[in-house]
Structure 1
């Protein structure tokens, strides 16, 4: 009697999964693919300034040059008040924080349109790419913030009117919030871009406009009290004001303002993840 032969068909087995629900983000997959997140992070970091003359200096040049321009235009010519804080430090802290948030937003928004070649060949959780981008931006922020701390130490040694306080410990929380805010809004724009290409062209322009509404080049105290509540609804305003209050000793921020900022961030992140999850099912047919 012949013995039955068991064939190994595992390599040819196709696993069919049920449709994902609105709230099924499959966050467990992100942990299982954590090595891939680190690989994309390394790829983006190495490719950022490969074959450039100045190399790593490009981490520092943009924020320093932007700060110099703001110092001349808004500080010297426009004479915008900085509440007695050193003008250069005032602008550089705002620019460094905004660069981190703005880059998280803009690169997350291009996840689908910028990676169709990869997505069409192999499966992995699509949310891995924006998460790798956030890690890469965090390293850039660390370098730029390190430059700010060096300049801060120089100004402090020179006797400048800066008063850092124990509230600097809130920095990691604010970094997580900025990353979550950039990821949430980026996912919203990314999902909308699969249907309406106009949003892809509006990212850079819209981010620049938002910066000028986020107290980067002026303190919240210069806004008329009757309109101040509108600016507080912008989640980046309490974050930047909190950073300035913590490191420079000046700024207008209260706990309830930070609570509103965190609430708005949570809502935008949730909406962004929902829209991203729904869009990734069909984006290859529309991008």
Structure 2
């Protein structure tokens, strides 16, 4: 009798790990249970990045400042590209800040299996935590660069060259959309890099080209009618145009563009999550 009592107590496990039975078995409740791990990974990334640096978070200002200076000189002065009447510094910086967050999140998410193979092979936790940690960690870099952008907007608004409007309230939604697109697309590529290593190099090259299909260095209004429809197919176009329209008061933007981006990114995120969920079950066999 006493032995059966001990046996019954032993069967009350605190954690039960079972194989997923289907492609749709995402178990998002388990991801929520491991939110403390998510915060720990974000903190680790932040501390690791600055552990052996002298300037610390100031490095986050270096990239957008020097890139803005280069874009202003090359595209603004030499090439003479339009900025819809907005000051060149504010125009280019707005695109750079948004693009940096997307490109960094996408590249890091795409390599999440290869860079974390040792951890995945030793410890169990919901694998979806890793790509979520990537996009969350990059939010800190975005926040620092966003403060620089806000300072520029305040200056030009004070001297009367910029006229922000209520569309600035859409900023949190725009950030979530950009994070969702980077997450969904990144998870699809991460699933392919487990088997095809050269996909990493292809992605790095592709992201650089993709920037020119995104209105980072030019406004949509300056595009030839022949190419404008192609640029509008890019879901990032509406996000960046809305961002600029809100803070700079310029741009060719309408709410229909944003609705398209929301639908497109939602579908991409669902597909990416399902593909990631399928590959994470057996990626250790191919990594």
TM-score where L is the length of structure 1: 0.94
Tell me the SS of whatever aligns to 1:124: coil
Name the residue aligned to 2:266.
Answer: 266
* Partner secondary structure for residue 60 of structure 1: helix
Residue by residue over 1:63-110, the C-alpha shift from the partner in whole angstroms, topping out at 9 and shown as x without a partner, is: 111111111110111110101100010000000001111111111111
Structure 2 stretches lacking a partner, 5+ long: none
The whole-number CA distance in structure 1 between the counterparts of 2:163 and 2:248 is 5
Q: Distance in 1 between matches of 2:14 and 2:209?
A: 51
**After alignment, is 227-236 or 5-14 more displaced?**
5-14
Q: Distance in 2 between matches of 1:69 and 1:205?
A: 20
Shift of 1:43: 0.2
CA distance in 2, matches of 1:255, 1:12: 51
- Once the two structures are TM-superposed, the CA of residue 277 in structure 1 deviates from its matched residue by 0.4
Q: Which residue in 1 is equivalent to 2:105?
A: 104
Deviation at residue 154 of structure 1 after TM alignment? 1.5
Q: Specify the SS of the correspondent of 2:82.
A: coil
Deviation, 1:159, is 2.8
Q: Report which stretch shifted further, 25-34 or 178-187.
A: 25-34
Counterparts of 2:66 and 2:93 in 1: how far apart (Å)? 10
Q: Is the alpha carbon distance of 1:284 and 1:78 closer, same or farther for their aligned partners in structure 2, counting shifts above 3 Å?
A: same
TM-score (normalizing by structure 2): 0.94
1:126 maps to 127
Quote how far apart the aligned CAs of 1:170 are: 0.5
Change (3 A) 1:285 1:159: same
1:149-188 to 2 correspondences below 5 Å:
149-160=150-161, 162-188=162-188
Q: What is the number of equivalent residue pairs in this alignment?
A: 285
Q: CA deviation at 1:172?
A: 0.6
Residue 245 of structure 2 is aligned to residue 245 of structure 1: yes
Cα RMSD (Å): 1.8
2 CA distance for matches of 1:280 and 1:17? 14
Find the aligned partners of 2:3 and 2:257 in 1 and give their Cα distance: 72
Long gaps (5+) in structure 1:
none
**Displacement after TM superposition at 1:158 (Å):** 2.5
- Cα offset, 1:226, TM superposition: 2.9
- Structure 1 residues 10 and 24: CA distance shift in structure 2, 3 A: same
Paired residue for 2:254?
A: 254
Task: Output the CA distance in 2 between the equivalents of 1:116 and 1:76.
Answer: 47
**SS of the counterpart of 2:257?**
helix
The range that moved more, 78-87 or 227-236, is: 227-236
Note the 1:266-285 alignment, pairs <5 A.
Answer: 266-285=266-285
Q: Which residue does the alignment assign to 1:60?
A: 61
Partner of 1:228: 228
